Amino acid sequence: MQSFRAAWRQCAGQLVAVAAFSCAINLLYLVSPLYLTQVYSRVVTSGSVDTLLMLTGVTMGALLALAGLHAARASILVDVGLRCCLACQPR
């Protein structure tokens, strides 16, 4: 049990990073509804192709960032899980 607690303390920094990534991911999930809202309120009413292209570009960038954060968070969680698993194994 002590080895698990030591491994848990050792991974505290990574878990803080996971929490920060999770907050950012949750905020980035708002990109799609905001995009649709902006398209319907600005692009459809004005017919501006430039506005549509700009909104689409920003949305694509945000969705790529979302994918990157997901991958980074998954990698960190796999590392934390491996450390905890190794700490719980009998020696």
pLDDT tens digits for range 33-91: 999 999 999 999 999 999 999 999 999 999 999 999 999 999 999 998 888 888 777 76
Flag whether the pTM goes above 0.85.
Answer: no
Residue showing tokens 């902006």 = 38
So what's the pLDDT on residue 1?
A: 62
What residues have CB less than 8 Å from 55, skipping those under 6 apart? 35, 38, 39, 42, 43
Phi and psi of 29, rounded to 5°? -65, -20
